[in-house]
Amino acid sequence: MRITSTMAETRELYSGGPVGLVPTLGFLHEGHVALLEAARDECGTLAMTVFVNPLQFNEAADLERYPRNLERDVELARDAGVDMVFAPSTEEMFPLPVATTVSLAPLTARMEGAHRPGHFEGVATVVTKLLAGLRPDRAYFGRKDAQQLAMIRRLVVDLSIPTEIVPHPTVRESDGLALSSRNVFLSAEDRQAALALSRGLMAAANAAESGERSARVLEELVLDTIAMADGVVPEYAELASASDVDRLDTADVDCFLAVAARVGEVRLIDNVHIDVNPDGVVADRGILMDRPSVLYSQAENL
């Protein structure tokens, strides 16, 4: 495995296609590893990027305290069979003050976009840069960031980027908590309280599979569950179309029910993907781990 610092160098190392890309902010957890393993199975060459993109942090404090551990990320990538880790410096990524912004206003006005001004422009700009510069045939993104996934799928259509965007199910602790690099900041008590998010979503997924179609009813199921948990402050629960992120009144084909909440000092998001098709309703609840995750909980690595 090679560690690269420029895109040109990375491209020169490609050997055999399809070329897969897993873009990350680093500090890998088992969710990233599952993404890498799925990509490994499908790609002749597999590249992973580690870049804590300053453009997508709307709060400077959040950028500063975002956890980092490149050494461990490189080890995990090697174990997962990654061929190259592109880990650029900020100077390599932005040799000039960034004048270019890529935005998808219609898909990012709501939910995360409303709560994190500038966040999605930062993501869209850097994802465009990684796809344009590294030219992968396939790029892998987790369903955990459902609105981001919807935005990126539209981005590649709008900009004719010949990269297939491949979604991967959310990976969850065995008790349901969605893996996130931010979980490391939860106190033991908050960690328990945070389960209200996934519990609410699972209740809604069950209801949808039992025939409930009303978006407001499904959203209330999530919010009511959260209301019962101490110290969890919801920001929103919304059912939205996965193709254009329009808020829905009724569950439909290819949509997602997303929730955001503050648990103590930590802001968490989660969602279930719901697909209403002629044969019935299929909810993608994610993948439950059969044992506790070990990677992100190593707070001593911060």
Query: Is the preceding peptide bond at 23 cis, omega within 30 degrees of 0?
Result: no
Closer to a second copy by CB, 131 or 232: give it. 131
Closer to a second copy by CB, 55 or 261: give it. 55
**DSSP track, 207-259:** HHHTT--BHHHHHHHHHHHHHTSTTEEEEEEEEEETTT--B-SB--SSEEEEE
Total chain residues near a second copy (CB under 8 A): 35
Q: Report the C-alpha dihedral over residues 16, 41, 283, 161, rounded to 10 degrees.
A: -10
What type of residue sits at position 240?
A
Q: Scan residues 230-269 and list those touching a second copy (CB under 8 A).
A: 244
Separation between Cα atoms, residue 301 and residue 217, nearest integer Å: 42
Contact letters for a second copy, residues 148-167 (x by CB under 8 A): ------xx-xxxxxx-----
Contact present, 259 and 197 (Cβ < 8 Å): yes
Closer to a second copy by CB, 155 or 255: give it. 155
Rule CB under 8 A: say whether 133 interacts with a second copy.
yes
Residue from 40, 135, 213, 262 touching a second copy (CB under 8 A): that is 135
Residues contacting 128, CB < 8 A, separation 6+? 102, 155, 159, 161
Interacting span for a second copy (CB under 8 A) from 93-101, 111-119, 183-191, 282-290: 93-101
CB of 102 to a second copy, least distance (A): 5
Rule CB under 8 A: say whether 299 interacts with a second copy.
no
Helix axes 30-42, 70-79, angle to 10 degrees: 40
Which residue do the tokens 């980027």 mark?
161
Neighbour order of strands in the sheet with 84-86: 2-4, 84-86, 45-50, 19-24, 138-142, 164-168
Of the candidates 32, 119, 168, 273, the residue annotated as catalytic is 32
Interacting span for a second copy (CB under 8 A) from 91-99, 111-119, 140-148, 224-232: 91-99
Is residue 32 annotated as part of the catalytic site, yes or no? Answer: yes
Residue from 8, 61, 188, 294 touching a second copy (CB under 8 A): that is 8
CB of 76 to a second copy, least distance (A): 25
Which residue do the tokens 């199910």 mark?
169
Rule CB under 8 A: say whether 106 interacts with a second copy.
yes
Residues that bind a second copy (CB under 8 A): 7-8, 11, 94-107, 124-125, 128-133, 135, 154-155, 157-162, 244
Active site amino acids: 32
